[in-house]
């Protein structure tokens, strides 16, 4: 019977649902005040500011003394509202008049954000369940504490179960206490985890007493870490721009700022990842300062960037032209790389049969590299390109630089010049023979006697 009456309260609560959704859009931001000395205040929903009317749904603020608590739930505004024994028809002697009642039949989480960092919280609770088979224990209610609403990992938790009612009370009631020791928290989540088919899904809280944490004694600077992103080539060189991300954590008071510098003298406040486009070796110095003013000693990360391939110039061949079938051809080139240096140079040639042959070039002296193309028969067309890779792994070919391949032809077996010489020789010989015949005939003619 009592439970039925409780359910009758809900339609009236639903009427305020829409308004409450609108209110919940106005985000209340805790100011995270640190008290000069610890003090204790209580929230009992009866005496705080503003006055909470019966039936009021979350979210709402309650201020008690210097501390403001903001009550909300991921389940939405219908999940919790202000009620008392006069509206629920329960009898709960551990509670003062008004309490915060979980009136949704789901498993609902109550979140309480506080304006101050705390290190202790105590509250009264009742779990809405009825004693069934003997040996059943009342359900455990749990509290999980977080540094603030951005924290994903709790600093700790506690659980407690009430005792079965006696003396006319209707539901199990108890008290839960959580003390965080030297740690601090400003957000708690209260819920009833599933504990079997007979476990409670609804609860009430009241008389929430909190103790603020004292001033923070923080003498440890934050710790900053870096992460680099870019295309990593060979031997630790990046072959692209490098983007640097910094992140920092602090043990107690929190990170106030992170800074970076390229000279360890002029500092810039870090707000977002930034790119370094300068080739060569770059040092990025970094440090962070916490809210207590502790500054981390500067650290540095060093990295190498080479985005430019080597330059290949002065390609020469010996002999320069008129290659004979017995000639090997020496190829000399000059290769330079101002940033990471030249790793290797190769000669790639073909005699036109479709197969390319690669020869490593030898570093003769300075920037001069050399390789030899073997001799080929009369009339062979030889095509070649030079390839160079720098120590970072950037490669380039002469064809990419200049837009063409180098080529030469071994002399044909009967070059035009030789044929011409032969023809001239034969013509000379013919003239000579003709002259000889003419001379002989004349002599005959001139000497008739």
Applying the rule CB under 5 A, the residues between 38 and 57 that interact with Ca ion are 44-46
Q: Taking the CA of residue 26 as centre, how many other CA atoms within 13 Å lie in the half-sphere pointing to its CB?
A: 9
Q: Interface with Ca ion includes 389 (CB under 5 A)? A: no
Q: For Ca ion, give the closer residue by CB, 68 or 340.
A: 340
Phi-psi region for residue 274, left (φ > 0), alpha (ψ -120 to 50) or beta?
beta
Applying the rule CB under 5 A, the residues between 4 and 43 that interact with Ca ion are none
Q: How far is CA 271 from the centre of its chain?
A: 14
Asked if 216 and 33 count as a contact pair (C-beta separation under 8 A), the reply is no
Q: Which stretch binds Ca ion (CB under 5 A): 12-20, 119-127, 218-226, 352-360?
A: 218-226
Coil/strand/helix, residue 17: helix
Count of chain residues binding Ca ion (CB under 5 A): 22
Burial 395-404 (b: 16+ CB within 10 A, else e): ebbbeebeee
Q: Which of 56, 98, 116, 171 binds Ca ion (CB under 5 A)?
A: 98
Q: By CB neighbour count within 10 A (0-12 exposed, 13-18 middle, 19+ buried), where does 32 fall?
A: middle
Q: For Ca ion, give the closer residue by CB, 270 or 349.
A: 270
Applying the rule CB under 5 A, the residues between 235 and 294 that interact with Ca ion are 250-252, 290
Q: Which of 339, 342, 386, 388 binds Ca ion (CB under 5 A)?
A: 339
The whole-angstrom separation of Cα 160 and Cα 144 is 12
The whole-angstrom separation of Cα 154 and Cα 146 is 5
Q: For Ca ion, give the closer residue by CB, 280 or 325.
A: 280
Q: Which stretch binds Ca ion (CB under 5 A): 30-38, 159-167, 330-338, 425-433?
A: 330-338
Q: Interface with Ca ion includes 206 (CB under 5 A)? A: yes
Q: Interface with Ca ion includes 136 (CB under 5 A)? A: no
Neighbours of 376 (CB within 10 A): 21
Neighbours of 112 (CB within 10 A): 24
Q: Interface with Ca ion includes 104 (CB under 5 A)? A: yes
Q: Which of 85, 191, 218, 399 binds Ca ion (CB under 5 A)?
A: 218
- Paired with 163 in beta bridges are 173
Pairing of strands 299-305, 237-238: parallel
Contact letters for Ca ion, residues 153-192 (x by CB under 5 A): ----------------------------------------
Q: Which stretch binds Ca ion (CB under 5 A): 12-20, 153-161, 169-177, 205-213?
A: 205-213
Neighbours of 123 (CB within 10 A): 27
Q: At closest approach, how far in Å is the CB of 97 from Ca ion?
A: 5
Q: For Ca ion, give the closer residue by CB, 100 or 188.
A: 100
Applying the rule CB under 5 A, the residues between 106 and 125 that interact with Ca ion are 108
Q: Which stretch binds Ca ion (CB under 5 A): 29-37, 85-93, 385-393, 440-448?
A: 385-393
Q: Taking the CA of residue 350 as centre, how many other CA atoms within 13 Å lie in the half-sphere pointing to its CB?
A: 7
Q: At closest approach, how far in Å is the CB of 75 from Ca ion?
A: 8
Q: At closest approach, how far in Å is the CB of 339 from Ca ion?
A: 4
Coil/strand/helix, residue 357: strand
Asked if 162 and 172 count as a contact pair (C-beta separation under 8 A), the reply is yes
Q: Which of 24, 220, 240, 317 binds Ca ion (CB under 5 A)?
A: 220
Q: At closest approach, how far in Å is the CB of 258 from Ca ion?
A: 13
Q: Interface with Ca ion includes 336 (CB under 5 A)? A: no
The values of phi and psi at residue 119, to 5°, are -130, 10
The whole-angstrom separation of Cα 369 and Cα 359 is 12
Q: For Ca ion, give the closer residue by CB, 259 or 306.
A: 306
Q: At closest approach, how far in Å is the CB of 311 from Ca ion?
A: 9
The whole-angstrom separation of Cα 24 and Cα 388 is 65
The whole-angstrom separation of Cα 178 and Cα 190 is 12
Q: At closest approach, how far in Å is the CB of 41 from Ca ion?
A: 14
Q: For Ca ion, give the closer residue by CB, 127 or 348.
A: 127
Name the residue with the smallest CB distance to Ca ion. 96
Phi-psi region for residue 65, left (φ > 0), alpha (ψ -120 to 50) or beta?
left
Q: Which of 56, 233, 390, 396 binds Ca ion (CB under 5 A)?
A: 390
Task: Kindly list the residues in this chain that would bind Ca ion in the complex (CB under 5 A).
Answer: 44-46, 96, 98, 102, 104, 108, 201-202, 206, 218, 220, 250-252, 290, 306, 308, 337, 339, 390
């Amino acid at each position: 019977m009592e439970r039925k009456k409780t359910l009758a309260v809900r339609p009236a609560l639903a009427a305020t649902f829409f308004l409450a959704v609108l209110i919940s859009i106005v985000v209340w931001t805790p100011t995270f005040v640190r008290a000069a000395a610890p003090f204790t205040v209580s929230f009992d929903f009866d005496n705080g500011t503003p006055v909470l009317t019966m039936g009021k749904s979350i979210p709402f603020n309650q201020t008690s003394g210097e501390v403001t608590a903001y009550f909300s739930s991921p389940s939405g505004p219908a999940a919790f509202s202000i009620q008392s024994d006069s509206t629920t028809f329960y009898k709960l002697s551990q509670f003062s008049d008004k309490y915060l009642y979980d009136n949704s039949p789901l498993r609902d989480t109550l979140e309480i954000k506080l304006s101050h960092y705390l290190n202790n919280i105590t509250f009264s609770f009742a779990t809405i369940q009825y004693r069934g088979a003997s040996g059943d224990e009342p359900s455990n209610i749990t509290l999980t504490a977080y540094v603030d609403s951005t924290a994903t990992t709790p600093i700790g938790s506690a659980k407690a179960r009430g005792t079965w009612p006696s003396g006319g009370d209707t539901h199990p009631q108890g008290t839960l206490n959580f003390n965080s020791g030297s740690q601090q928290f400003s957000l708690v989540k209260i819920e009833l985890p599933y504990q079997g088919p007979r476990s409670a899904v609804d609860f009430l809280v009241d008389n929430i007493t909190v103790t603020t944490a004292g001033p923070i004694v923080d003498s440890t600077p934050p710790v900053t870490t870096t992460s680099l992103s870019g295309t990593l080539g060979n031997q630790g060189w990046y072959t692209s721009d490098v983007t640097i991300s910094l992140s920092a954590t602090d043990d107690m008071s929190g990170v106030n700022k992170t800074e970076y510098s390229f000279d360890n003298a002029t500092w810039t406040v870090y707000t977002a990842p930034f790119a370094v486009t300068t080739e060569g070796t770059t040092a990025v110095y970094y440090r962070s300062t916490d809210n207590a003013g502790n500054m981390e000693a500067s650290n540095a990360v060093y990295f190498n960037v080479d985005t430019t391939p080597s330059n290949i110039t002065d390609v020469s061949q010996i002999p320069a032209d008129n290659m004979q079938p017995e000639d090997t051809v020496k190829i000399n080139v000059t290769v330079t790389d101002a940033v990471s240096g030249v790793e290797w140079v190769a000669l790639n040639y073909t005699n036109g049969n479709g197969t390319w042959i690669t020869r490593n070039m030898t570093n003769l002296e300075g920037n001069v590299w050399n390789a030899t193309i073997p001799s080929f028969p009369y009339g062979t067309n030889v095509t070649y390109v030079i390839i160079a890779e720098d120590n970072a792994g950037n490669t380039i070919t002469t064809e990419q630089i200049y837009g063409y391949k180098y080529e030469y032809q071994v002399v044909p077996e009967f070059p035009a010049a030789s044929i011409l010489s032969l023809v001239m020789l034969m013509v000379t010989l013919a003239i000579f023979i003709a002259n000889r015949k003419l001379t002989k005939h004349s002599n005959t003619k001139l000497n008739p006697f």
